Amino acid sequence: MSFLDKTLTCRECGNEFIFTAGEQDFYQSRNLLNEPRRCPVCRTARRDAPRSGGRELHEVVCSACGQVAQVPFLPTGSRPVFCNDCFKTQRGGVPARY
């Protein structure tokens, strides 16, 4: 089946972009039924954006060394909070995952 280039409008930025015949052929070969809704620039920006939704970091004072640190959770005060270095020491050298 031969395809013709289509002009589509990006739902993100509102700019028009070309959905080429080659892209349409690719979509069909992968059984993708829906046309792209975003232009290539917006698709790339969305793909490269952090997936955590822009996780908010909170400043705290480390319970061990007193340095200011950032943590990905809101401390309640019921447990000690450590900076990355002190956390590693507390866990026996296992790196923190934030």
pLDDT on residue 93: 62
pLDDT on residue 35: 95
Each domain of the chain, given as residue ranges in start order, spans 6-48, 58-90
pLDDT on residue 51: 67
* Side chain identity, residue 16: E
Distance from C-alpha of 86 to C-alpha of 94, rounded to nearest angstrom: 11
pLDDT on residue 64: 92
Beta bridge partners of 6: 19
Per-10-residue mean pLDDT of the chain, 98 residues long, equals 92 95 95 94 86 76 92 88 89 60
